[in-house]
Amino acid sequence: MTNDVVVGIDGGGTRTRVIVADVGGRVLGTAERGGASTEFNDPEKARQNLREGVKTALADAERAPGDVAELTAGIGGLATPQSYTEAEQFLAIDALACETRVVNDAVVAHIGALRDDAGIVAIGGTGSLVFGITADGDQVSNYDCLHYARAGAHNLGERALHALLSGEAPTDWRLGNRLLERWDCESVVTLQSAVRKGDRFTNTLSGNPLDRVAPLITGAAADGDPFARAICDDAIAEVVTGIRLVGGFLETPVAVAPAGSVLLSEYMTAELRRQVTDTEGYRAVKPAMSPVAGAAFDAIDRATGVDDAVVERLTEHAMGHA
């Protein structure tokens, strides 16, 4: 046992990413598996994804569980004591004797985006959350204000579905035809039938046809499609409302960074930056690191302390990029 490496985990609803790094921030091994959040996945499958991710990343780094000095895991959907306990049990890997810190994935996204600075991270991925940390270290989210920003992948797909079914979109809508093709539907009539059956199109936020088309929608928005832009703009407007709600608890100017596959897409990032910049008392910032790098950064900080060089080394690897 060398105790010379740390493990950082970002376990979202769709994907789990794992980094093994030395205490200087050099990435030695990585792994990617399916979702780790039991909010969106079967608990046994989430457990398997977490454990296999850690073991694979350690093997990639040519390290054993006993070599790990610290582990930080950000897991999506953690809210109750029971959910935290369950996640900790998922990470009870044989020979892994280090201290394990399990937090909501919003925390590692915030660390990755803003390091230890106060501010807000707006997350749009499988789900959506606006999460802030004050200068005193208090955590606050738009959920605390009884608000949910419908800016996750499923929400974009749902808006596009409604545009097709309601007839709001023109019959020659190019994106609409691509969506029908992706959903294996020959026409809007076929789509109507598929939706009514209820076996494919559901309100489940992950693993159904709605959340899988988000990249098509954000890509079309970047290419200038007016209906795709309207869908994305509606989502951004709800995120900005969440930002203003959370920002009311922070000192100005409030730093705001995006996170998650939806909000980090080209059009969504640019539009969010524009609207945040136009809002007095707020400033848009580029995330310093990815959420999984934020988890590794936190583990290194607990093991030996961190400096700017650690961030530079973590982001030298593709998985460390925001």
pLDDT at 147: 97
Q: How would you write 46-58 as a 3-class SS string?
A: HHHHHHHHHHHHH
Q: Coil, strand, or helix at residue 146?
A: coil
Domain boundaries, the chain: 5-113+289-320, 116-287
What's the CATH fold of domain 5-113+289-320? Answer: Nucleotidyltransferase; domain 5 (3.30.420)
Q: Which of 190, 171, 37 is nearest to 201 (CA)?
A: 190
**pLDDT for 171:** 82
What residue has token string 């400096």?
A: 307
C-alpha to C-alpha distance for 238 and 148, rounded to whole angstroms: 8
Q: Give the DSSP H/E element, type plus range, for residue 5.
A: strand 5-11
**On the CB side of 301, how many CA atoms lie within 13 Å of its CA?**
18
Contacts of 193 by beta carbon, 8 Å cutoff, 6+ apart? none
Q: At what angle do helices 174-182 and 153-166 cross, to 10 degrees?
A: 110
Q: How far, in Å, CA of 82 to CA of 137, rounded? A: 24
Identify the segments of the chain with pLDDT beneath 50: none
Dist CA 88 CA 101 (whole Å)? 8
Are 5-113+289-320 and 116-287 the same fold in CATH? yes
pLDDT recorded at residue 240:
97
Per-residue pLDDT reduced to its tens digit, 244-261: 999 999 999 999 999 999
Superfamily covering domain 116-287: ATPase, nucleotide binding domain (3.30.420.40)
The whole-number pLDDT of residue 39 equals 83
pTM tops 0.85: yes
Amino acid at position 54, single letter: V
